[in-house]
Amino acid sequence: MVTMGVRTVFIGAGVVLTVMVVVVVAAVGIMMAVGNQRWQNETAALHCQQDAGARRAEGGTFDPAALSTLPDPVQSYLETVLTPGQRMVAAVQIEHSGTFNMDATGENWRPFRSTQRVLTQRPSFVWDGRVNVMPGMNAHVHDAYVDGRGILYVALWGLVPVVDIRDTPEIARGELMRHLAETAWYPTALLPGQGVTWSAVDQHSADATLTDGDTTVTLRFLFGSDNLIERVYTEERDRSVGDSTELTPWDGRFTNYHWQDGMLVPMHGDVGWILPAGRLSYWRGHVEQVSYTFH
């Protein structure tokens, strides 16, 4: 009788536990569905803001003769990555996969997947990422520059905000720097008349400057022996340190160039901070797919 009673208790506890697990799984499923829908709506709203701020631009095509006023390494780069008659890029859709470093001083790499939409006139981008923070927990990320405003917004499951930085001069400057650095993926934006101005440095590097509204940024582009962009660099980019920001050397590195729609563009990128202890990467990504819209 005692054995039967204990068995009955355990069976009852098992049923209760099973029901609890089912309820929790269902609740998490509902939360994830609500979060995904909310996030998709917010992403769509950012895309609408991009479109509303876009400028009408003349089409035109790439003419090597127009490069004569540019620094030598920039001329060589553009002649290498563009084919004569190449149309100007108006928009880019890029799908990335890779890993993101969650540690500000060490290494804690977590996988991510993302979609990025870029407009070249007026400069804007929306990076929509999913970082797998731990099993069953994804951080949804909007890293964006839209209508002259920088945005860094992170929410667990798309619902619980953990980072929300926007509408400050520092975030606008940092995001416009990112847009300029990533022109390796839309190189017609570096041609004369497209908004970027160049200053000569030496035979292997040149400074590019881009102004949008009240924000002006400059990055140094360093070119390899194959004439391709190897690295973009700045001595001062705003890095979040606690509740404030600190100007810190920063760079992005590009490798594995492939031809895409008449342009030679990189398939791999590595981005990091140059700290006193050495370079600390925080983003390593691979282009899974890229598609272009031309003027």
pLDDT in tens, the chain (295 residues): 445 554 454 445 555 555 545 444 555 666 677 888 999 999 999 999 999 999 877 778 999 999 999 999 999 999 999 999 999 999 999 999 999 999 999 999 999 999 999 999 999 999 999 999 999 899 999 999 999 999 999 999 999 999 999 999 999 999 999 999 999 999 999 999 999 999 999 999 999 999 999 999 999 999 999 999 999 999 999 998 888 899 999 999 999 999 999 999 999 999 999 999 999 999 999 999 999 999 8
Residue 172's closest CA among 145, 211, 154?
A: 145
Long-range Cβ pairs for the range 267-274 (8 Å, 24+):
273/239, 273/248, 273/249, 274/248, 274/249, 274/250
* pLDDT at residue 293, rounded to an integer: 97
The tokens describing 205, both together, are 């590097």
Which domains are present in the chain? Answer: 31-294 (2.50.20.10)
| pTM of full prediction above 0.85 | yes
* pLDDT at residue 48, rounded to an integer: 97
Q: Please calculate the CA angle 175-180-184 and round it to the nearest 5 degrees.
A: 130
* pLDDT at residue 14, rounded to an integer: 57
Q: Are 230 and 206 in contact (CB under 8 A)?
A: no
The tokens describing 275, both together, are 């700290």
Maximum C-alpha span of the chain: 98
